């Protein structure tokens, strides 16, 4: 067997392995999606009753929930267990998201109220519940923002990010935010 044949075989094995991994992620995502559809009404640790799904992100899904002890609404982010993430390291990363966010004390940053892994094995963060429209909803409504409106949005975001960076935290979605406003990605260093 020649070197080219060996490389071609290894390349084919990598392609097949990648395809299997993608199928595994898709299957895990389908299972998580089905799970998140049946979670409303469930109570986590006898403290938080999940009500309606209000958002989905790379790390999980967010629900509006009732804090049963304090009788107030909160947001509960449920960890999305992707293949390879349901490890001590993946759960640690999720836990560190809550700890890192707690270090940011800024009026334009979300407040983390609680974090745990439920008795049924569901990892979650509890956050203050924000009411209002998302940036996407605002953009659909107004189609285009004036420079003044962009400043009204960006200045508070930059203030919160500056506080995060001062605490040594780099938000992993900042590149998406900058791309949204400028059409340019931050160069990877």
* CATH number of the domain encompassing residue 66: 3.30.200.20
pLDDT tens digits, one per residue of 31-72 = 555 566 667 888 999 999 999 998 877 678 889 999 999 999
Predicted TM-score (pTM) of this structure: 0.67
In a domain, residue 154? The reply is yes
Q: Catalytic residue positions? A: 173
> Cα(153)–Cα(163) distance, rounded to whole angstroms?
16
Q: How far from 76 is each of 44, 103, 179, CA to CA, in Å?
A: 10, 19, 27
**Share of residues in the chain with pLDDT > 70 (%):** 72
**Lookup: tokens for 160:** 């919160």
Structural domain harbouring 147: 135-182
CA angle 11, 14, 16 (to 5 degrees): 110
pLDDT band at 83 (very low <50, low <70, confident <90, very high): very low
Q: Is 86 in the same domain as 117?
A: yes
Residues 6+ apart with CB under 8 A from 20: none
pLDDT band at 156 (very low <50, low <70, confident <90, very high): confident
- Higher pLDDT among residues 181 and 172, named by residue: 172
Q: Is 149 in the same domain as 164?
A: yes
Q: Is 115 in the same domain as 175?
A: no
Describe the crossing of helices 174-182 and 147-166 by its angle, rounded to 10 degrees: 160
In a domain, residue 108? The reply is yes
> Cα(43)–Cα(47) distance, rounded to whole angstroms?
7
Q: Is 55 in the same domain as 84?
A: yes
What does the pLDDT average to over 89-95?
Answer: 72
């Amino acid at each position: 067997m020649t070197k080219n044949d060996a490389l071609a075989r290894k390349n084919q094995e990598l392609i097949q392995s990648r395809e299997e991994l993608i199928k595994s992620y898709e299957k895990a995502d389908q299972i998580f999606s089905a799970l998140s559809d049946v979670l409303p009404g469930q109570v986590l640790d006898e403290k938080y009753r999940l009500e309606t799904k209000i958002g989905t992100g790379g790390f999980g899904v967010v629900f509006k929930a009732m804090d049963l002890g304090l009788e107030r609404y909160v947001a509960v982010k449920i960890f999305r267990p992707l293949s390879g993430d349901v490890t001590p390291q993946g759960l640690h990363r999720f836990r560190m998201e809550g700890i890192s966010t707690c270090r940011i004390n800024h009026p334009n940053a979300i407040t983390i109220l609680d974090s745990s892994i439920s008795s049924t094995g569901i990892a979650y963060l509890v956050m203050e519940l924000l009411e209002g429209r998302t940036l996407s909803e605002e953009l659909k409504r107004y189609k285009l923002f004036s420079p003044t409106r962009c400043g009204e949005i960006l200045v508070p975001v930059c203030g919160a990010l500056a506080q995060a960076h001062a605490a040594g935290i780099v938000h992993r979605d900042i590149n998406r935010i900058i791309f949204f406003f400028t059409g340019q990605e931050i160069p990877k260093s």
